[in-house]
């Protein structure tokens, strides 16, 4: 089926928007018609590239009648206010992960979308990556038997990328849980059916200069009996991308000669200088987004099922069966993050929700908080706001 392009507004023209540019520039199912952002420089760049309207406030964007849906790419802690304003204006919403920082905000967002009768999709997130979706399809087919155990880990330089000060304060959504852990949780929940029962975790905040969580390890278990081990370190030492064909998170090629680059770039910067450095990576500041050569990924993931293990890679899924192994390709689309746009178009044009709804995003956020709580209390935490997978998988 072909439809008229979805008329999309954008709220926030920072780093997250930058990373969506290759998609927006190459997928003609969406047309960027308006933006709202506080910086005149980025608004001007938007109008110069896409035409359309550029506003200084979310209220103006919400009142624009020529918009079907809005992509919210503002800092996490602002998501709830922005969703309420835009849902009240009748816009469908694509909100960048994590849904919010607090579960109270997440509840507000679920309620706002319900009350307005609009779709709220949490994305992009790596749970939309084509190899993850392919693995989910393979699981749903039943060919491999039940999912029994998932192992996911990722070693990155996250903690030493340029940050605004609040991104190093846990209570404001800083640290690896809300920005990074939520990806891993989203993926693992998708692979295991979504309904996590409990979590047990340890967290580490090992650098006094950046005193938020930079690492964690967690065990989740799920309705149906599957369990998962999740581990993350953002301390910029070992880099697990060597086990992902040297493909970086965003699909670019890693250059081993750049070892230590993240720490070097921050050396001798005070917090203001660091925030300014981050600013140079936003839209309208002259930089261009990375051009992916392979699918995005979130580190090595092994899925153990009754009759096969599945290993995710940037190119697809390697299947290790009882007798043979094989590789099933997940091609890179010229418009990367195509599955996110698939979800948006289906929501707007067919009134069909993806798995990654507001309730789904709240459930992943609940796990982030449960990891922090479990580590603080040194005991397992029972989960209460989980959300399963309700899709058209039977049609696959």
Interface contacts to a second copy, rule CB under 8 A:
148-149, 151, 153, 155, 198, 200-202, 204, 206, 215, 217-219, 221, 227-229, 231, 233, 235-239, 243, 259-260, 263-264, 302, 304, 306, 308-309, 311, 320-325, 378-380
Residue 92, CA distances (Å) to 10, 76, 111 in order = 12, 18, 14
Nearer to a second copy, 200 or 250 (CB): 200
Helix, strand, coil in percent for the chain, rounding step 5: 40, 20, 40
Side-chain half-sphere exposure of 66, counting CA atoms within 13 A:
8
CB of 97 to a second copy, least distance (A): 24
> Which residues 6+ apart lie within 8 Å of 208 measured at CB?
none
Question: Strand 196-204 vs strand 69-72: parallel, antiparallel, or unpaired?
Answer: unpaired
Closest CA to 167 of 156, 157, 178: 178
> Which residues 6+ apart lie within 8 Å of 300 measured at CB?
151, 152, 153, 154, 240, 243, 244, 311, 312
Closest CA to 184 of 342, 371, 358: 371
Peptide bond into 203 cis (omega under 30): no
In 315-326, which positions are buried (b, 16+ CB within 10 angstroms) versus exposed (e)?
bbbbbbeeeeee
* Chain centre to alpha carbon of residue 41: 26
In sequence order, which ranges of the chain are alpha helices (DSSP H)? 15-26, 40-50, 58-63, 79-88, 103-116, 130-140, 176, 182-192, 261-266, 271-279, 338-350, 358-377
Taking a C-beta distance cutoff of 8 angstroms, is the pair 281, 15 a contact? yes
Taking a C-beta distance cutoff of 8 angstroms, is the pair 295, 129 a contact? yes
CB of 92 to a second copy, least distance (A): 39
- Positive or negative, the CA dihedral 336, 97, 8, 10 is negative
Residue 295, CA distances (Å) to 205, 254, 336 in order = 31, 13, 7
Residue 70, CA distances (Å) to 127, 231, 372 in order = 20, 33, 31
SS3 221: strand
Taking a C-beta distance cutoff of 8 angstroms, is the pair 5, 31 a contact? yes
The Cα–Cα gap between 317 and 330 comes to 7
Nearer to a second copy, 86 or 301 (CB): 301
CB of 64 to a second copy, least distance (A): 48
Nearer to a second copy, 148 or 278 (CB): 148
Nearer to a second copy, 4 or 378 (CB): 378
């Amino acid at each position: 089926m072909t439809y008229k392009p979805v008329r999309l507004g954008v709220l926030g023209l920072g780093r997250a928007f930058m990373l969506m540019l290759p998609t927006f520039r190459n997928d003609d199912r969406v047309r960027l018609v308006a933006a709202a952002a506080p910086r005149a420089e980025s608004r001007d760049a938007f109008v110069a590239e896409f035409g359309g309207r550029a506003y200084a406030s979310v209220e103006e964007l919400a009142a624009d009648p020529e918009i079907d849906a809005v992509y919210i790419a503002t800092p996490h802690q602002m998501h709830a206010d922005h969703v309420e304003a835009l849902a009240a204006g009748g816009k469908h919403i694509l909100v960048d992960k994590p849904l919010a920082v607090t579960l109270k905000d997440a509840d507000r967002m679920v309620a706002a979308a319900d009350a307005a009768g609009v779709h709220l999709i949490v994305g992009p997130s790596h749970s939309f990556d084509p190899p993850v979706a392919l693995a989910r399809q393979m699981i749903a087919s039943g060919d491999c038997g039940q999912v029994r155990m998932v192992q996911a880990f990722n070693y990155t330089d996250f903690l030493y990328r340029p940050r605004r000060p609040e991104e190093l304060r846990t209570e404001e959504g800083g640290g690896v849980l809300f920005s990074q852990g939520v990806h891993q949780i989203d993926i693992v929940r998708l692979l295991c059916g979504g309904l996590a029962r409990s979590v047990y975790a340890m967290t580490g905040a090992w650098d006094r200069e950046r005193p938020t969580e930079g690492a964690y390890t967690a065990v989740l278990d799920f309705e149906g009996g599957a369990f998962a081990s999740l581990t993350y370190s953002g301390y910029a030492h070992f880099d697990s991308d060597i086990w992902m064909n040297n493909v970086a998170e965003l699909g670019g090629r890693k250059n081993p000669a750049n070892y230590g680059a993240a720490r070097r770039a921050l050396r001798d910067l005070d917090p203001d200088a660091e925030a300014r450095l981050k600013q140079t990576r936003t839209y309208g500041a002259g930089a261009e987004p990375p051009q992916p050569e392979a699918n995005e990924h979130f580190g090595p993931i092994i899925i153990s099922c009754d009759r096969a293990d599945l290993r995710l890679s940037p190119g697809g899924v390697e299947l290790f069966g009882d007798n043979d192994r094989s590789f099933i390709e997940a091609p890179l689309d010229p418009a990367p993050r195509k599955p996110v746009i698939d979800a948006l178009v289906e929501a707007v044009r067919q009134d069909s929700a993806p798995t990654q709804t507001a309730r789904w995003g709240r459930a992943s956020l609940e796990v982030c908080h449960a990891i922090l709580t479990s580590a603080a209390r040194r005991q397992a935490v029972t989960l209460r706001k989980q959300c399963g997978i309700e899709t058209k998988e039977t049609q696959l």
